[in-house]
């Protein structure tokens, strides 16, 4: 047989396919992974098309170096998803397809080893005889592996690895010794391995609590769904949304035993809690029926999890935003927990919204999707208003004794409160409430969305503030590290001992961060066991998990932290939540700031009283502000309706669609010139009447890492008008060459400005 031509997607910003010759006898298929020569290197890419023709003469085409025939091709549906994402977010296909694959899959040298994950090991008579004697008595883990193998006669690689971390190495050695054989599992066997039987599905429900009336109603609606059915599950904090997800999964697997479900959570830190919950209830299932997929996994784990999803072996894939691009050939249900969370938005490279792609996927596959939240995004709420999504509501907490916490606003503008400022902004009522909790052994949580010791260090004589040399931002004082840190670029420096302007040595920290609050609390309540959780205290991998566990175990009296502590965690013993310094977001230039603040504070207060009574104290200088008033009433709906009315009047999203053109340059002038020229190009394009173009402006933090940044906003009430304008605009942008401009990019549906 001769050659065919394969057109391959490679990670490359230029939106073209690369043609290669391929030996026809290898029967290349679209969706298969190949390694190809590219310049002086070799790259892994995905076959997009197989054809007979190329615009490049055949003799000049290079040849495919390796084809991963054992790995099933990525399906046409997955490729359609990638195509959609590339088009919608204005990127080259290769910038979607390749980053969606784990690194291990993108290294051809690892392909063989990855497939070992789907090997089956069988014990041979020689092994039955020799193995027990060959292992020393103290090698308990190895003996356990041998015993399991002996008992079942065979083991899958995944099952073996669960018994011993080095199982594959051991089994290979045992094979060398002639004690075991190995064979590759067929595709059908892989799916079979984790296919649910009626009895395992029933076991799912065995340990289950009796559903509340509201939960039962919600599930009835979900179970009655057919085809593409988007649900907004609007449930107050603690209403038992997780139980609803689990039951929806169980029902799906009872109906379609080989189906797959995708469960998205906004943060890596929330995956262990979910995983433990699902695993406890899925106890009768093979471990690899559930895999997690997030950026915190070691490379090998992540590749194995990705493959388990791709081969159909994983029934439930639990992951963060990147999991929305996983290959799931049997996907039949999608769940997006805390759908409002900004973490679903990728803020670099391909700036996608995992929630929005999840909805697109559900529509493409004609399957149900559940979007859960106590504070839905206004985009989602609007869809529910318009009946695009079915709204399901849980108004009560699931645990019978638990009621929603009582919220009090502490007026910090009152003269009496101002005089208490010496206590680092902790008002007397809040301190008293903390003491009360301490006295009766209950936990408190204090939310302050600012890490570090103090957000700035300033000269008391001339007002100079220590700034980052690389960014137009203040340096944050980190007292424990004895240093100053830039939260934009990571720049680290020593604490200056004198003012750079006037030489005055009397420098004072301005404002407060979590470290300072922790210090003040320790001084005020010396008997309390205080823990701080923020990005600084959890920098080490896995440390967040240990810290959260110590809270759950009751080893902590007061937990201080940033938004990391506000989300999703089911802390059973917290009865008091305090909120400090939240006011700034009320007056932000970003129209979504109040939506985010409301969600954050409602989530934070949702940590209180999950097992019984609870109280929330919010310190504010604006207690009459409608946002706080709505919060005190637990009135998400009121807040959403008012805010949506304001958005409608201002024609802001979700009543319009936006895109940003960002420019980064060595000088601000160059960035603005690039944007001005881009604006002129857009204005000259025909058919862009329905798109409003705003003037280029410098970004709020204009300089980061010596790079000057500016952007230009486009807006339209028609999504398709905006999309076609962007598409027509792109080639003109590519042609613009302006000195000192480093990069530019388009962001569709930006969330933050
Ligand atoms: P949400 O995600 O809605 O904030 P969770 O799913 O964390 O709420 O549930 C809150 C608590 O209620 C959990 O401790 C959970 O075990 C419990 N729970 C959920 N459903 C029920 C039920 N039907 N009966 C009793 N407890 C329940
Ligand atoms: Zn000074
Ligand atoms: Zn900096």
- Helix 76-88 crosses helix 354-365 at what angle (to 10 degrees)? 140
What's the 482 CA to ligand 3 centre distance in angstroms?
17
Nearest ligand to the C-alpha atom of residue 486: 3
Tell me, in angstroms, the distance from the centre of ligand 3 to residue 457's CA: 15
> Residue 702 C-alpha to ligand 3 middle, in angstroms?
11
**Using the 8-state DSSP alphabet, how is residue 58 labeled?**
G
CA of 486 to the centre of ligand 2 (A): 20
**CB 75 within 8 Å of CB 329:** yes
**CA of 608, nearest ligand number:** 1
Residue 452 CA to ligand 3 centre (angstroms):
15
pLDDT of residue 2: 85
Residue whose CA is at the smallest distance from ligand 1 atom 15: 240
Contact 36, 65 (CB under 8 A): yes
**How far does the centroid of ligand 2 lie from the alpha carbon of residue 589, in Å?**
30
Q: How far is the CA of 466 from the centre of ligand 2 (A)?
A: 10
Mean pLDDT by 10-residue block, N- to C-terminus, for the chain (753 residues)? 91 92 95 97 97 90 95 97 97 96 94 78 89 86 89 84 86 91 80 72 76 96 96 95 94 90 94 89 79 92 93 94 98 98 94 98 98 97 98 92 89 75 78 95 94 94 94 94 93 94 94 93 95 90 86 93 84 92 89 95 88 91 95 95 96 97 97 98 94 96 96 97 97 94 96 87
The C-alpha atoms of residue 395 and residue 635 are separated, in whole angstroms, by: 11
Write down the pLDDT at residue 198: 64
Judge whether 248 and 222 are in contact, CB under 8 Å: yes
Check residue 658 and give its pLDDT.
98
381, burial (CB in 10 Å: exposed 0-12, middle 13-18, buried 19+): buried
Between the CA of 12 and the centroid of ligand 3 the distance, in Å, is 29
Quote the tokens at residue 726.
Answer: 């962007």
Most ligand 1 atoms within 8 A of CB, residue of 215, 242, 266 to mutate: 242
Counting ligands in written order, the one closest to the CA of 242 is 1
Ligand minimally distant from the alpha carbon of residue 612: 1
* pLDDT recorded at residue 1: 58
Report the side by side order of strands in the sheet with 66-67: 18-23, 3-9, 41-51, 33-38, 66-67
Among residues 256, 246, 252, the alpha carbon closest in space to that of 215 is found at: 246
Starting from the CA of residue 475, give the closest ligand: 3
Q: Which helix (H) or strand (E) holds 246?
A: helix 241-255
Which ligand is closest in space to the CA of residue 707? 3
**For ligand 1, mutation pick of 233, 240, 370, 607 (most atoms within 8 Å of CB):** 240
Q: In testing the pocket of ligand 1, which one of 246, 338, 398 has its CB within 8 Å of the most ligand atoms?
A: 398
Atom 19, ligand 1: residue with shortest CA distance: 240
Q: Whose CA is nearest to atom 10 of ligand 1?
A: 238
User: Which residue's CA is the closest to the ligand 1 atom numbered 20?
Assistant: 240
Q: Which residues surround ligand 3, an ion (CB under 5 A)?
A: 468, 470-471, 486, 488-489, 491
Atom of ligand 1 nearest to the CA of 239: 3
For the CA of 506, the nearest ligand: 2
What are the contacts of 672-681 at 24+ separation with CB within 8 A? 672/696, 672/698, 672/710, 673/738, 674/736, 674/738, 674/741, 674/744, 675/710, 675/711, 675/712, 677/736, 677/738, 678/712, 678/729, 678/732, 678/733, 678/736, 678/744, 679/712, 681/729, 681/732, 681/733, 681/736
Select from 404, 243, 307, 409 the least CA-distant residue to 102: 307
Q: Hey, which bits of 1-99 come out as E strands? A: 3-9, 18-23, 33-38, 41-51, 66-67
For a substitution probing ligand 1, which of 238, 248, 405, 572 has the most ligand atoms within 8 Å of its CB? 238
**How far, in Å, from the CA of 146 to the mean position of ligand 3?**
55
Alpha carbon distance 667, 650 (integer Å): 33
CA of 102 to the centre of ligand 3 (A): 31
How far is ligand 3, taken at its centre, from the CA of residue 420, in Å?
34
**What sign for the dihedral angle of Cα 444, 450, 451, 457?**
negative
DSSP class of residue 422? G
Helix (H/G/I), strand (E/B), else coil: 426: coil
Query: Counting atoms of ligand 1 from 1, which one is nearest the CA of 572?
Result: 14
Q: What is the dihedral of CA 488, 489, 490, 494, to 10 degrees?
A: -90
As for ligand 1, residues whose beta carbon falls within 6 Å of it are: 209-212, 215, 235, 237-243, 398-399, 570
User: What 8-state DSSP symbol labels residue 473?
Assistant: S
Question: With contact defined as beta carbons under 8 Å apart, do 308 and 219 qualify?
Answer: no
For a ligand 1 pocket test, name from 233, 243, 373, 401 the mutation site with the most ligand atoms within 8 angstroms of its C-beta.
243
Q: Which two tokens stand for residue 186?
A: 């067929």
pTM of the predicted model as reported, rounded to 2 decimal places: 0.92
Tokens of 623: 């207690």
Measuring from atom 23 of ligand 1, which residue has the nearest CA?
A: 211
Residue 478 CA to ligand 2 center (angstroms) comes to: 20
Q: Which of 248, 396, 399 for a ligand 1 pocket mutation test, highest count of atoms within 8 Å of Cβ?
A: 399
Q: How far is the CA of 561 from the centre of ligand 1 (A)?
A: 24
CA 294, CA 297: separation in Å to the nearest integer? 6
Give the dihedral sign, CA 468/474/477/478: negative
Beta strands in 84-189 (DSSP E): 119-123, 154-156, 180-184
The secondary structure of the chain in percent helix, strand, coil, rounded to multiples of 5, reads: 40, 25, 40
Q: How far is the CA of 650 from the centre of ligand 3 (A)?
A: 34
């Amino acid at each position: 047989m001769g050659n065919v031509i394969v057109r391959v997607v490679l990670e490359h910003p230029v939106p073209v396919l690369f043609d290669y010759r391929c030996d026809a006898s290898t029967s290349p298929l679209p969706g298969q992974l190949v390694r190809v020569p590219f310049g002086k290197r070799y790259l892994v890419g995905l076959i997009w098309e197989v054809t007979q023709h190329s615009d490049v003469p055949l003799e000049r085409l290079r040849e495919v170096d390796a084809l991963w025939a054992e790995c099933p091709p990525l399906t046409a549906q997955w490729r359609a998803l990638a195509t959609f994402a590339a088009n919608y977010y204005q990127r080259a296909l290769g910038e979607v397809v390749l980053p969606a694959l784990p690194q291990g899959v993108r290294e051809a040298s690892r392909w063989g080893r990855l497939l070992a994950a789907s090997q089956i090991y069988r014990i041979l008579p020689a092994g039955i005889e020799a193995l027990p004697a060959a292992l020393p008595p103290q090698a308990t883990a190895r003996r356990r592996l041998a015993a399991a193998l002996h008992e079942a006669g065979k083991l899958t690689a995944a099952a073996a690895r669960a018994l011993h971390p080095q199982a594959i190495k051991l089994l290979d050695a045992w094979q060398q010794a002639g004690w075991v054989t190995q064979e590759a599992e067929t595709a059908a066997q892989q799916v079979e391995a984790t296919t649910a039987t009626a009895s395992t599905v029933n076991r799912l429900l065995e340990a289950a609590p009796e559903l509340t009336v509201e939960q039962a109603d919600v599930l009835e609606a979900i179970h009655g769904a057919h085809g593409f059915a988007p649900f907004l599950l609007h449930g107050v904090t603690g209403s038992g949304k997780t139980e609803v997800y689990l039951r929806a999964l169980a029902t799906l697997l009872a109906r379609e035993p080989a189906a797959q479900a995708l469960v998205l959570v906004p943060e890596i830190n929330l995956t262990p809690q979910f995983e433990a919950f699902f695993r406890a209830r899925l106890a009768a299932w093979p471990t690899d029926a559930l895999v997690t997929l997030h950026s915190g996994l070691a490379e090998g784990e992540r590749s194995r999890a990705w493959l388990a999803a791709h081969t159909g072996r994983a029934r439930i894939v639990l992951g963060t935003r990147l999991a929305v691009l996983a290959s799931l050939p049997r996907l039949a249900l999608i769940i997006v927990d805390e759908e409002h969370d900004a973490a679903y938005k990728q803020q670099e490279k391909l700036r996608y919204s995992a929630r929005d792609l999840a909805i697109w996927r559900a529509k493409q596959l004609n399957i149900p999707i559940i979007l859960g939240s106590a504070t839905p995004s206004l985009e989602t709420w609007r869809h529910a208003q318009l009946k695009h999504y079915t709204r399901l509501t849980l108004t009560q907490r699931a645990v019978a004794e638990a009621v929603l916490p009582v919220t009090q606003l502490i007026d910090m503008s009152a003269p009496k409160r101002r005089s208490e400022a010496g206590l680092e902004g902790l008002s007397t009522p809040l301190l008293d409430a903390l003491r009360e909790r301490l006295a009766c052994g209950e936990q408190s949580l204090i939310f302050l969305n600012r890490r570090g010791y103090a957000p700035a260090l300033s000269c008391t004589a001339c007002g100079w503030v220590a700034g980052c040399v690389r960014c137009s931002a203040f340096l944050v004082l980190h007292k424990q590290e004895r240093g100053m840190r830039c939260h934009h670029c990571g720049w680290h420096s020593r604490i200056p001992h004198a003012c750079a302007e006037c030489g005055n040595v009397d420098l004072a920290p301005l404002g407060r961060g979590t470290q300072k609050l922790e210090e003040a609390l320790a001084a005020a309540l010396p008997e309390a066991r205080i823990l701080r959780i923020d990005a600084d205290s959890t920098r080490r991998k896995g440390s967040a998990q240990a810290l959260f566990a110590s809270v759950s175990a009751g080893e902590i009296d007061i937990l201080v932290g940033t938004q990391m502590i506000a989300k999703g965690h089911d802390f059973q013993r917290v009865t008091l939540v305090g909120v400090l310094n939240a006011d700034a977001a009320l007056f932000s230039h970003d129209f979504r700031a109040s939506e985010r603040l409301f969600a954050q504070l409602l989530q934070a207060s949702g940590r209180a009283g999950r097992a019984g009574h609870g109280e929330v104290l919010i310190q504010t200088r604006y207690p009459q502000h409608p946002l706080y008033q709505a919060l005190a009433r637990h009135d998400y709906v009121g807040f959403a309706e008012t805010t949506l009315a304001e958005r409608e009047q201002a024609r802001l999203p979700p009543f319009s669609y936006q895109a940003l053109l960002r420019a980064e340059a060595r000088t601000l002038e160059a960035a603005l010139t690039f944007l001005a020229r881009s604006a002129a190009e857009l204005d000259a394009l025909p058919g862009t009447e329905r798109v409003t173009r705003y003037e280029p402006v410098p970004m709020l933090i204009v300089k980061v890492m010596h790079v000057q940044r500016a952007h230009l906003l486009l807006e339209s009430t028609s999504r398709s008008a905006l999309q076609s304008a962007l598409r027509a605009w792109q080639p003109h942008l590519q042609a613009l060459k302006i000195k000192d401009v480093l990069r530019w990019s388009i962001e569709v549906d930006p969330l933050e400005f």
